[in-house]
Amino acid sequence: MAREVWNTRVGFILAAIGSAVGLGNIWRFSYMAYENGGGAFLIPYFVALLTAGIPLMILEFGLGSKFRGSAPLSLKRAKKSFEWIGWWGVIASFIITTYYSVIVGWSLVYLLKAFTLGWGTDTGAFFNNELLHVSDSPWNLGSFSYPVLIGLLATWLIIWFVEKRGVQAGIERSSKIFIPLLWVLLIVLVFRAITLEGSINGIEWYLKPDFSKLTDIKVWQAAYGQAFYSLSIGMAIMITYSSYLSKKSDIVNNAFIVSLADGAFSFTMGFAIFGTLGYMAYAKGLGIEEVVAQSIGLAFVVLPEALNMLPGLKALTAVAFFLCIVIAALSSLISLVEAFASSIMDKFEMKRGKAVDLTIGFGLLFSLIYATRGGIYWLDIIDHFINTYGLIIVGILETIAIGWIYGADKIREWVNNYSDIMAGIWWDACVKFVIPVALMYIVFVDTRSNLAAPYEGYDLAAIMIGAGVIVLGILISILTPFINKEVK
């Protein structure tokens, strides 16, 4: 079965940027900078990007383009015993897909509400009580939240439509629409934010450099974590996407473009977020530290409240903000689904239509738990464990398998064949030493924290189920290579 290819280099780059730029770029980077030295955080972040993010992106682009397969197949073609590493990346991505799709569903509800600011004046009550109907514990799932369920079904329908059309007509074409529109919306949001009274105070808090933080190992840990999580590496996506490249593609240059575009989007979004929070603090007569929040609370509680308070263009700004979230989330979700679908197409010699149907069918089935009243608890627990023991572990295993066993020099020689920028010995050093050491330290710190106290105070049984999902995923990854029907 002939492998699909991108129609243009631009299409590949836009699709890869679409995968990398996701929800974390909107609500994670700016808060990480604010918490870890403001403008000074840019120094460890840029160092992390150059020594971990971009080198691992080059590694994954090199694997996919050289071995012309999904993550499991590419790693197997490097060395048969590596196949399970690819499957762990694929399964970890699938687990993320199940709850990421629900967050997209929330975002679609908010996008519809944005036209009339329909979340009302108490945004916290709207999110927790009216939309999610949050129960009192993870064990009390209750009924579905029907707005969330409808949003979830709409999300999967959109993804199904794009994925069924294939690489060129589906993923590439949608990326050529989504990603330019995403940047236009970003510019609109930044311009609106910086014209608000008090916005400069918020931006100052965002960028105010605290160079004393540079001696704090936790800040460097945060920088390396951000560089890793934000680029969709370790998720089997970039190996899959690069497997659709033509043979004479500029791998190194592509990796730099995608990685720097992702960082630029995150950094620029910070001006929109903190500019708006600056206005909110000014209007309330409070300090920035009293209105800022992180993660889901920032996007779905704090910023809707800030949008309510704007002096004008409230609905227009709200629509632009949530359309930005929806597009970023959809483009990332498309790539997550493609990573899984491509893997089962390769493994079972399956046609795209059937592979997409199976992927989305199982994805929808497993995502239903997150649309219940207790779903947000399980989303939080699973997300916590899968990010550390899924994605980061995959990154560590890839660098050991390719850097030390297969040979980093072999991938370096391959990617340099048609690249304008050469990957030199610096790249080997990053892959063999810097990346595994940095990622191992992150795993060590997170594990120590998990053993010291239950995550977020959840009871031990809930934590054990979250950890059990990870263990089950690893077992499936180890066993899957023993299924024989596959592309040779």
**What structural domains does the chain harbor?**
9-482 (1.10.4160)
Query: pLDDT truncated to tens, each residue of the chain (488 aa)?
Result: 689 999 999 999 999 999 999 988 988 898 888 889 999 999 999 999 999 999 999 999 999 999 999 999 999 999 999 999 999 999 999 999 999 999 999 999 999 999 999 999 999 999 999 999 999 999 999 999 999 999 999 999 999 999 999 999 999 999 999 999 999 999 999 999 999 999 999 999 899 899 999 999 999 999 999 999 899 999 999 999 999 999 889 999 999 999 999 999 999 999 999 999 999 999 999 988 898 877 788 899 999 999 999 999 999 999 999 999 999 999 999 999 999 999 999 999 999 999 999 999 999 999 999 999 999 999 999 999 998 888 999 999 999 999 999 999 999 999 999 999 999 999 999 999 999 999 999 999 999 998 898 888 999 999 999 999 999 999 999 999 999 765 55
What is the predicted pLDDT for the residue at 485? 61
Contact 329, 159 (CB under 8 A): no
What is the predicted pLDDT for the residue at 77? 97
Query: Whole-angstrom Cα distance, residue 168 to residue 8?
Result: 9
The pair of three-digit structure tokens given for residue 22, joined into one six-digit string: 């996701």
The pair of three-digit structure tokens given for residue 361, joined into one six-digit string: 């069918």
The pair of three-digit structure tokens given for residue 357, joined into one six-digit string: 């149907």
Please spell the DSSP secondary structure of 343-396, one letter per residue: HHHHHHT--HHHHHHHHHHHHHHHHGGGGBTTHHHHHHHHHHHHIIIIIIHHHH
What is the predicted pLDDT for the residue at 55? 98
Please spell the DSSP secondary structure of 115-129, one letter per residue: TTTTT-S-HHHIIII
Question: With left for phi above 0 and alpha for psi between -120 and 50, is residue 138 left, alpha or beta?
Answer: alpha
What DSSP character marks residue 5? -
Burial of 198 per CB tally in 10 Å (0-12, 13-18, 19+) = middle
What is the predicted pLDDT for the residue at 387? 86
311 phi and psi angles, rounded to 5 deg: -75, -15
Please, which residues have CB within 8 angstroms of residue 68's CB and are 6 or more apart in sequence? 3, 74, 243
Of 19, 61, 17, the closest CA to residue 250 belongs to 61
Contact 277, 246 (CB under 8 A): no
